């Protein structure tokens, strides 16, 4: 049978409201995840049909940590009778029908398994709300998808241009307030070289190693490869191996702001990258810290360059 990976992370995500009904039906998956039908659809999904659904995830404090209002299309999956659910959360997604509205409440570790987000404790209860938008026949889905993508791409391009200008103004104000000597690139990226390296220049195609600390403009750190910075910012994760990240430059393995900004540096360079949201994660919310349209700042050090 066809195996399905954890569908929460495999599918695109979009937030949506869940219809409220006075009749709630409680269920439990085979691995003990409790969920409630706020509204239950009547028509079973047929093999080959595509299920489009809305999705929102909240912490135990009712704070949204995954939200995709601005994703171009709703998340979807193709229903297969032979699909093999690996987890309880897979069971729920693989059995979605038109009209279903479901609330899931369980420990984060049980829902996400090995893909547990680093900002969640495995024992913390999270709430997942799912609402099926539509069920579409296989033969018409591709046309639906293409039309929706074309319309959304045009809208995103327009929004991205405006957002970039707004972000540039915000970054320039931040630079002025913090007395930074920054250089602006044509794309809208700003960089500050705090220590000039003496090694090889970073060029497209090089594999480089970088130590980094990433934070938003108010100084809240969301990730770092430096153990001491992790402890200072209260983001330290026991058992994590803190070391430079390695990747090929200019191949889309990292956000656009990194692919561009790191090519201004050399081995040994220490710098600050100020990245407008269109060159980072755009309108996507990546975590509780990285919200939609977040400007990101990275303190980076190029520790190695391999030509």
Which residue, chain included where needed, has tokens 């209860």?
Answer: 125
pLDDT digits (tens, 9 = 90+) for 201-237: 999 999 999 999 999 999 999 999 999 999 999 999 9
Q: Record the tokens describing residue 263, joined without a space.
A: 């090519």
Which residue, chain included where needed, has tokens 């229903």?
Answer: 79
- Domain positions in the chain are 3-142, 179-306
Q: Record the tokens describing residue 39, joined without a space.
A: 């509204």
| pTM score over 0.75 | no
Give the model's pLDDT for residue 282: 93
Query: Which of the 8 DSSP states describes residue 237?
Result: -
Report the candidate in 164, 146, 166, 167 with the shortest Cα–Cα distance to residue 156: 164
Give the model's pLDDT for residue 151: 86
Q: What's the CATH code, domain 3-142?
A: 3.10.50.40
Average model confidence (pLDDT) for the chain? 89
User: How many CA atoms lie less than 13 Å away from 198 in the CB half-sphere?
Assistant: 0
Q: Report the C-alpha gap between 27 and 148 in whole angstroms.
A: 34
Contacts of 209 by beta carbon, 8 Å cutoff, 6+ apart: 244, 245, 246, 302, 303, 304
pLDDT digits (tens, 9 = 90+) for 44-65: 999 999 999 988 899 998 888 8
Same fold, 3-142 and 179-306: yes
Report the candidate in 286, 292, 260 with the shortest Cα–Cα distance to residue 273: 260
Can you name the residues that pair with 270 across neighbouring β-strands?
195, 301
Q: Report the C-alpha gap between 96 and 10 in whole angstroms.
A: 16
**Do 93 and 77 form a contact (C-beta atoms < 8 A)?**
yes
At residue 7, does pLDDT exceed 60? no
**Do 211 and 301 form a contact (C-beta atoms < 8 A)?**
yes
CATH topology of domain 179-306: Chitinase A; domain 3 (3.10.50)
Q: Which of 148 and 211 is assigned the larger pLDDT?
A: 211
């Amino acid at each position: 049978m066809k195996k399905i990976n954890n569908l929460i992370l495999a599918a695109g995500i979009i937030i949506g409201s869940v219809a409220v009904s006075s009749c709630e039906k409680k269920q439990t998956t085979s691995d003990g995840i409790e969920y409630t039908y706020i509204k239950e659809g009547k028509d079973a999904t047929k093999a080959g049909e595509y299920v489009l659904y809305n999705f929102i995830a909240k912490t135990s404090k009712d704070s949204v940590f995954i939200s995709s209002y601005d994703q171009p299309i709703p998340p979807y999956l193709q229903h297969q009778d032979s699909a093999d659910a690996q987890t309880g959360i897979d069971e729920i997604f693989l059995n979605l029908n038109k009209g279903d509205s479901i609330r899931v409440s369980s420990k984060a570790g049980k829902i996400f398994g090995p893909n547990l987000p680093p900002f969640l404790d495995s024992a913390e209860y999270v709430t997942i709300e799912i609402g099926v938008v539509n069920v579409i026949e296989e033969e018409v889905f591709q046309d639906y998808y293409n039309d929706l993508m074309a319309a959304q791409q045009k809208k995103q391009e327009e929004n991205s241009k405006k957002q970039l200008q707004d972000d540039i103004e915000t970054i320039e104000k931040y630079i002025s307030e913090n007395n930074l000597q920054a250089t602006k690139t044509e794309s809208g990226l700003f960089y500050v070289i705090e220590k000039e390296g003496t090694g090889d220049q970073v060029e497209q195609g090089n594999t480089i190693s970088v130590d980094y600390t990433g934070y938003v403009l108010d100084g809240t750190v969301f990730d770092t490869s430096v153990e001491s910075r992790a402890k200072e910012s209260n983001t330290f994760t026991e058992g994590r191996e803190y070391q430079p990240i390695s990747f090929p430059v200019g191949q889309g393995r990292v956000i656009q702001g990194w692919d561009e900004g790191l090519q201004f540096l050399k081995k040994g360079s220490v710098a600050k990258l100020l990245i407008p949201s269109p060159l980072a994660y755009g309108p996507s919310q990546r975590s509780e810290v990285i919200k939609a349209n977040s400007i990101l700042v990275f303190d980076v050090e190029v520790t190695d360059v391999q030509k």
